[in-house]
Amino acid sequence: MRLNMRRFGFVLLGCLMNLVALAQEIKVTSGFVKDSVAIGEPVSYFLTARYPESVMALFPDSTYKFAPFEFSGKEFFPTKTTNGISYDSAVYTLSTFEIDPTQYLSLPVYVTTARDCTAFESDRDSIFLIEQIKIPAGDTLALKNLQLKSNTLYERVMMQFNTFILMIVLGVLLVAAIVVWIFFGKKIIRHFRVKRLEKKYKSFAEQYSKQVEEITKAFSREKTEHALSTWKKYLEQLERKPYTKLTTREVVKIDGDKILAESLSAIDKVIYGNQTAVTEPLQALQEIAHKRFTTKIEQIRHE
């Protein structure tokens, strides 16, 4: 047991001697490149390490806590080795937002060997904070004695109009509108054409159905003629044919629809003759109008 403790002591002593020898060969220096800095102003801080070629040196990166400073950037220089001694250096760009008059910083260099990793801390360097506003002692007393009046009234502040942002938004909207029109322009036109035809047919159907219902309850040649005029006006705007200016014979000639010919002839006999059975031919005209409206819609959707 004593022999094992003695061996452990020799090993520990050897490790300490190696560590002391290694520490004597490693030199870490650092410091600010100037002696004063303003709040938020970038300042350069250098870090150098001289160490044996047989080991590896690691410098702090952006994840290191540089308090009371904040990390902004790092410039690292290539390793130089002469006669078994390596030299590394880096320059850090830092800034501070603390208000302490004097601020301090030191950075470590981590030296790694096959057995462990040891941190070698540089000497702490200081930098003075530049005061942006200086108030003499007498002025401080004067400020305390000032009679200050508070104003809690709402003061309306006009918002500044940003023309540049407006131009960007308008440009984006214009480009989007052009793209939408290129890819969907025809579909949009067809959609609105269909909606317009549906609205007109709905208005016609309500008006015509009401007229037919009134004629069915109380027959009148004048109402029958008015219902026929309503039907012709709708077909005229739907098919772009002059139905209101044509006689029954002329309509039959240019149209060629047998059911239409029979219905118009029956209505003429009611208007100009002594017959009163007009409900069925009027309903037939309504079915023809609906059929042609449906056909027109299908044509537009398949253009």
pLDDT in tens, the chain (303 residues): 444 555 544 444 444 445 444 556 899 999 999 999 999 999 999 999 999 998 999 999 999 999 999 999 999 999 999 998 999 999 999 999 998 999 999 999 999 877 778 889 999 999 999 987 665 655 555 556 666 666 677 777 777 778 888 899 999 999 998 988 888 888 888 888 899 999 999 999 999 999 999 988 888 889 999 999 999 999 999 988 888 888 888 888 888 788 888 898 888 888 887 777 888 999 999 999 999 999 999 988 887
- Of 129, 149, 164, the one marking the end of a domain is 129
- Of 105, 129, 153, the one marking the end of a domain is 129
- Of 77, 101, 129, the one marking the end of a domain is 129
CATH code where residue 106 lies = 2.60.40.10
Proportion of the chain in helix, strand, coil states, percent, rounded to 5 = 50, 20, 25
In a domain, 72, yes or no: yes
In a domain, 183, yes or no: no
Let me know whether 194 and 104 are in one domain.
no
Let me know whether 125 and 210 are in one domain.
no
In a domain, 184, yes or no: no
Phi-psi region of 83 (alpha: psi -120 to 50; beta: other; left: phi over 0): left
Number of domains in the chain: 2
Let me know whether 194 and 297 are in one domain.
yes
In a domain, 137, yes or no: no
Domain residues for the domain of 194 are 190-301
Residue with tokens 């004593």: 2
| The predicted structure's pLDDT at residue 103 | 95
Let me know whether 197 and 292 are in one domain.
yes
> Chain centroid to CA 182: how far?
23
Instruction: Tell me the pTM.
Output: 0.44
Task: Find, among 159, 170, 167, 100, the residue nearest to 131 by Cα.
Answer: 100
User: What's the first-to-final CA gap in the chain, in angstroms?
Assistant: 103
| The predicted structure's pLDDT at residue 136 | 60
In a domain, 150, yes or no: no
Rounded to an integer, what distance in angstroms lies between the CA atom of residue 260 and that of residue 284? 8
Phi-psi region of 256 (alpha: psi -120 to 50; beta: other; left: phi over 0): left
